Every structure is written in structure tokens, then in C-alpha cells.
Amino acid sequence: MEIRNLCKTYGEKKVLSSFCADFQPGKRYALMGPSGIGKTTLVRLILGLEKPDSGDMTGVPAKMSAVFQENRLIPELTIPGNLRFILGRRFPAETIREMLEALSLTDCLETPAARLSGGQQRRAALARALLADAELLVLDEPFTGLDEENKSRAIREIDRRFSGTLLLVTHSREDAEALGAEMIAL
Amino acid sequence: MARKPKFNPTGRAAKLFAALLALCVWQLAAVLIGNRLLLVGPIQAAKRLLELLGEKTAWQALGFTFSRISLGFLLAFLTALVLAALSARFPLAETLLRPYILAIQTVPVASFIVIALLWLSSRRLSVFISFLMVLPVLYANALQGIRSADRQLLEMAKVFRVPPARQLRCIYFPALHPYLRSASHVALGLCWKAGVAAEVIGVTGRSVGGMLYDAKVYLEISDLFAWTALLVAVSLLFERLFLKLLDAMLTLAVTKEG
């Protein structure tokens, strides 16, 4: 995936200015930098949620998955419901069950997402991103609200289940190192 | 010591008392006026209502009016959803529709009834008028409902390439539901009023409106009250059933995903 001279402005504010980067398939990258530097904007551009003012992006995979800054779960649906929403009804129940067990989410399967704790919602968002069929996984501050134990579980599942290109947005060097990601300073 | 139960001014008992009081006021007014051509009391109206329930023609009239008005409402409901979806997707569609919606909202219903009488037979009039009167209410609310759908969820669905039908069921429908519910509550009352008014003005035979017209011509004031009570009962029943159906659809949409 090649990014050349990417620019994005919101009103008067220039968020990205001639950003260039090459992302190799199957490698892991951590986009780092202070708040407001444009990390989230960059991943929104890559995910196709925003259009750049100028610049080129080539080789962006068609199949992408993400953990957004917010959990973005459908509040009325349970965790399995939220997973089925993106995976469809034919997706094997066994695979879903394994993932939920790995992330310690089996004790709240009947609860609508709106009534889950922040940590449970975050793990559900992670489960969703990891079960989706994707070549590029974007993780925007994925471990927010997770205790050390759940964070380790999540990292273990990412390592076990995802072999595509990974883009991590984080402030934490520790998280980038734990995922073995190459750091890119914005 | 046992506590004295507190009187709740908005509770069931208070509402029942208010209804009984209104009936007493009505009966008292009928007694004071003392002219059955001007006002009958609730007892006479109830007697006539019971007689009507035993008449085949009354059921036929009720069936005729109910089928026309509910058809008008359901057509308006579906049309409003389609138009709102178009307006939400294409801003030009909203601009192009605005004059028609404004015209329907501002022109008196009587004018529409008279115009429609020139185009349609009086037997189809109530379908058209009830359709026309509720369309703007349902359209405006459906559009607002679609626009209230959570943008973050829609972005998530886009990234994960979720099929549109599933997005419709799990993101748009829950967002639309409260808007459609309150709009349907208002619109159902409106369509019965407008539909029956159209039947009265159009003198539609074998309809509730036609019966009300006859009651006026023959000064059968007890018929007028009995028919009115019957209409109110049927419209309330239909409203309850329709709103329950909407709620059931939401539950089904949500539970279908697990």
C-alpha cells in the first residue's frame, strides 16, 4: 500500500500535509504522535471514510477491518448479534464461540451491547474486527479501557488470528512493541 | 399504623373518575336542553349504539369505511418511507418534493375533497383523502428518523461491507422506529377524521360518512353519537394494533441477529 502526498484540511485546519508512506503486506505498523496530529484522519482516509483533498493511495486492500476509537456496537444487539451483523448467519458458530471464550466474553452473551461494561464493549469490538475476513486491520487505540490481563489476551488473539497488514494508532510505545509493530512518527 | 393510600391525580382511578364525570356532564346537558333533536344523553346514544351493532348494514358501512381509510393510511405509510429514503439519499429529491408537501399541509382538507370529487368516484374518495392528509406527517418523521441513524454505525457497516438489507434492519429501522411510532399515532387520528369528513362531503353511500350525513338530514342525533362512538372505538383499536405491529417488527429485526 503506497501513500503519496496525502493532504487533508478541515475548514482552516490542515490536518495532514503531504503525507507519504509505504506499507508492506503482512507487516505491522504503529502510527504514533501527539493528539491532533492526524493519526485518526489518516486511518479514516485509508478506510475510505473520508476523501483526501489531494494525494494518491494505491494498493489499498478491498477487505478491511477495524477497531475504531469508539466501540461502535449496535446497542440493541447482544455480542453474538453484533458479530452476526458483520459476519452473516452462515458464519460458523463454533468460531464465534472460540473467539468469545478467548476474550472472556462468554458470561455476557445475552446482554444487549448498551448494557455491557466499557471493557466488555471494547473486547466485543476487538472480537468483531478479528473475526472479519480482512487483509488490512486498523486498530485505533484498541486497548482503551482494558486491564492488563484482558490486554494480554487481546494481543495473544491478534497474534494468533491475524496475519495481514496491521495499522495500529496509539500513544503507547509499549503497545506498539507488544504487537511487534514498526513505529511511524507523524 | 397502616398508611393511607395517596391519591394520584394522573393515575388510573383519576382518569376513570374524569371519564365518568364527563358522561355525567353530558347527561346533565342533555336533560337541561331537553330537546332530542339537539342533544341526546349518553344513555340514549349507548342504546342506539347497541341497536347499530345488531344491524348488518351498520357492519357493512363500518367495513367499507375501515377498509378505505386503513388502505389510505397504509399506502401513505409506504409512500412516505420511499419518499423519505429518496430525500435522505438525494437532497434534490427533498427540494423537489417540498412544494407538494407544503401544499398538502397548508391547503384545507375541504378544498382537496371538492377537487378530488371531480376526479374520483365518491367511493374512492376516502382512500385518497386519508392518504393525502397523513402523507406529510409520516414523510417528515420518516425523513427525520432516517437522518437520526447513527453515522458511526453506518461507517462501521461500510468498513465491514455489511449488506444494505442488514443495515436497513439493524441500523435504520431502530432509528426510524420512535419517529414512525409517534407519527403513526398522530396520523391515524388524522386519517380517520379526514377520511370520514370526505365521505360526509362526498355523500358516499353505505359508508360511515354516508350514515353521518343521513343522521344530519333526518335529525337522528342519537345515530350521530352512536356512529361517532363506533368510529372512535374502531380507530383506537386500529391504532393499537398498528403500533403493536410496529413494535413487534422492531423486536423481530433485533432478535433476528441473535
Q: CA nearest A41: which of A185, A135, A140, A144?
A: A140
Look at residue B2 in the predicted model and tell me its pLDDT.
Answer: 63
Q: B174: nearest CA in chain A?
A: A76
**Chain A residues within an 8 Å CB radius of B157:** 85-86
Residue B258 clears pLDDT 70, i.e. is over it: no
- pLDDT tens digits, one per residue of B85-139: 999 999 999 999 999 999 999 999 999 999 999 998 888 899 999 999 999 999 9
Rounded to the nearest integer, the mean pLDDT of chain A is 92
A62-90 as b/e, with b when 16 or more CB fall inside 10 Å? eebbbbbbbbbbbbbbbbbbbbbbbbeee
pTM of the model: 0.84
Is A84's CB within 8 Å of B258's CB?
Answer: yes
| Cross-chain CB nearest to A72 (options B153, B166, B170) | B153
Residue ranges per structural domain of chain B = 49-255
Rounded CA gap, B102 and A118, in Å? 46
Q: Per-residue confidence at B256, pLDDT binned at 50, 70, 90?
A: low
DSSP one-letter string for A87-146? H-TTS-HHHHHHHHHHTT-GGGTTS-GGGS-HHHHHHHHHHHHHHS--SEEEEESTTTT-
C-alpha cell at B45: 346514544
**Could you tell me which CATH number the domain at A2-185 has?**
3.40.50.300
For A131, other C-beta atoms within 10 Å of its C-beta total 19
Q: Domain B49-255 maps to which CATH number in 3.40.50.2020, 1.20.1260.10, 1.10.3720.10, 3.40.640.10?
A: 1.10.3720.10
Residue ranges per structural domain of chain A = 2-185
Q: Backbone phi, then psi, for B57, in 5-degree steps?
A: -65, -35
| Cross-chain CB nearest to B152 (options A72, A81, A128) | A72
Q: Is-contact A140 A68, C-beta < 8 A?
A: yes
Percent helix, percent strand, percent coil in chain A, to nearest 5: 35, 25, 40
Rounded CA gap, B156 and A67, in Å? 9
Which residues on chain A place their C-beta less than 8 Å from a C-beta of chain B? 47-49, 63-66, 68, 70, 72, 74, 76-78, 80-86, 88, 128, 132
**DSSP count for chain B of H helices, then E strands:** 11, 0
Cα distance from B184 to chain A (closest Cα, Å)?
22
The DSSP output letter for A50 is: S
- pLDDT tens digits, one per residue of A113-151: 999 999 999 999 999 999 999 999 999 999 998 999 999
* pLDDT mean over B222-242: 92
Is A48's CB within 8 Å of B153's CB?
Answer: no
| Cross-chain CB nearest to A65 (options B153, B158, B160) | B160
Q: B168: nearest CA in chain A?
A: A85
Q: Per-residue confidence at B208, pLDDT binned at 50, 70, 90?
A: very high
Sheet holding A28-32, edge to edge: A64-67, A136-140, A165-169, A28-32, A182-185
In the numeric block, the cell 461502535 is attached to A72
